[in-house]
């Protein structure tokens, strides 16, 4: 059986398109990227045509369309989701939403039992974070904590909290672009013996393609009308009445140190 997964990733300033083709044990990957957060809508479909042409694959041969569902830039998330839905409706194929933070973990060297934390710059002195464990027996990721929004300064506390919950004896490997976006964090994290830092990284379309293939083969594709972005930050300010009750900060950043 030949499978063709079209992947879209626009949750950051990089617009990415990939076509992952699998036949038996052989896979081929075709990729295009463009830097420019305000140009995703302009470049996404032309890059789709480019990877299809390079691979010699017709639109009707696409098995499923995977897209990075977020969290990330609101406009970019809507572009990827909208294009994925439109193409899937036209081609009568399923859509596979992939958490963008999981794509960062997928790109790392997989270490079974290693607690992986992805921390991405969410602007406004906040981070999108999630935690995963790679399960060797299932060749799959276990989501310890789904994507959530936290204040930058509480990241060290959150790391210790999840270590106590999930992996008391081991280390936490931290990836994502928070390392580059907030250099003041680096010294603090480097002084934590249980934390290991990787190079700064962002969600990439190659990882979306590989995760999309796994999900499709596992029967996790959904109807196009059910696809939606995962914004996480869906409220950026308290109302006047809420502020009068003493509430402050960002209401979407729900985790606080105990």
Determine the average pLDDT of the residues in 171-177: 94
- pLDDT over 90 (residue 167): no
Determine the average pLDDT of the residues in 175-187: 91
Name the pLDDT band for 239 (thresholds 50, 70, 90). very low
Q: Which residues contact 15 (CB under 8 A, 6 or more apart)?
A: 9, 33, 34, 35, 36, 39, 40, 43, 44, 47, 76
Identify which of 41, 85, 79 has the alpha carbon closest to the alpha carbon of residue 227: 85
Determine the average pLDDT of the residues in 37-56: 94
Name the pLDDT band for 139 (thresholds 50, 70, 90). confident
Residue 248 has what pLDDT? 47
Percent of the residues in the chain that have a pLDDT greater than 90, as a whole number: 75
pLDDT, tens only, 7-19: 999 999 999 999 9
pLDDT, tens only, 49-80: 999 999 999 999 999 999 999 999 999 999 99
pLDDT, tens only, 87-126: 999 999 999 999 999 999 999 999 988 999 999 999 989 9
pTM above 0.75, yes or no: yes
Determine the average pLDDT of the residues in 189-209: 94
Average pLDDT, the chain: 90
Name the pLDDT band for 240 (thresholds 50, 70, 90). very low
Residue 1 has what pLDDT? 82
- pLDDT over 70 (residue 233): yes
Q: Where are the alpha helices (DSSP H) in the chain?
A: 40-55, 74-91, 100-106, 155-166, 178-181, 183-190, 205-217, 240-244
- pLDDT over 70 (residue 246): no
Pairing of strands 140-151, 2-9: unpaired
Residue 254 has what pLDDT? 62
CA-based end-to-end distance of the chain:
52
At 133, list the tokens.
């464990």
Query: In whole angstroms, what is the distance from residue 80 CA to residue 41 CA?
Result: 8
Q: Which residues contact 195 (CB under 8 A, 6 or more apart)?
A: 159, 171, 172, 174, 189
Residue 169 has what pLDDT? 59
């Amino acid at each position: 059986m030949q499978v063709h997964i079209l992947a879209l990733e626009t949750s950051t300033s990089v617009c990415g398109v990939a076509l992952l083709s699998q036949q038996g044990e052989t896979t081929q990957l075709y990729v295009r990227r463009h830097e420019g957060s305000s140009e995703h809508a302009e470049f996404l479909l032309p890059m789709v045509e480019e990877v299809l042409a390079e691979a010699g694959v017709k639109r009707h041969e696409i098995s499923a369309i995977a897209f990075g569902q977020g969290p990330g830039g609101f406009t970019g998330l809507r572009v990827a989701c909208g294009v994925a839905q439109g193409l899937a409706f036209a081609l009568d194929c399923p859509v596979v939403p992939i958490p963008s933070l999981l794509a960062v973990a997928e790109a790392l060297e997989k270490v079974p039992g290693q607690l992986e934390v992805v921390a991405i710059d969410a602007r406004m002195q906040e981070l999108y974070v999630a935690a995963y464990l790679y399960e060797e027996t299932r060749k799959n990721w276990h989501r310890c904590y789904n994507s959530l929004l936290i204040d930058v300064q509480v990241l060290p506390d959150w790391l210790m909290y999840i270590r106590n919950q999930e992996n008391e004896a081991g280390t936490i490997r931290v990836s994502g672009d928070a390392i580059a976006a907030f250099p003041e964090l680096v010294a603090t994290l480097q002084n934590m013996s249980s934390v290991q830092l990787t190079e700064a990284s962002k969600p990439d379309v190659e990882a979306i393609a590989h995760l999309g293939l796994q999900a499709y083969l596992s029967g996790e594709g959904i109807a196009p009308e059910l696809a939606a972005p995962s914004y996480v930050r869906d409220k950026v300010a308290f109302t006047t009445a809420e502020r009068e009750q003493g509430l402050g900060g960002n209401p979407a950043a729900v985790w606080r140190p105990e």
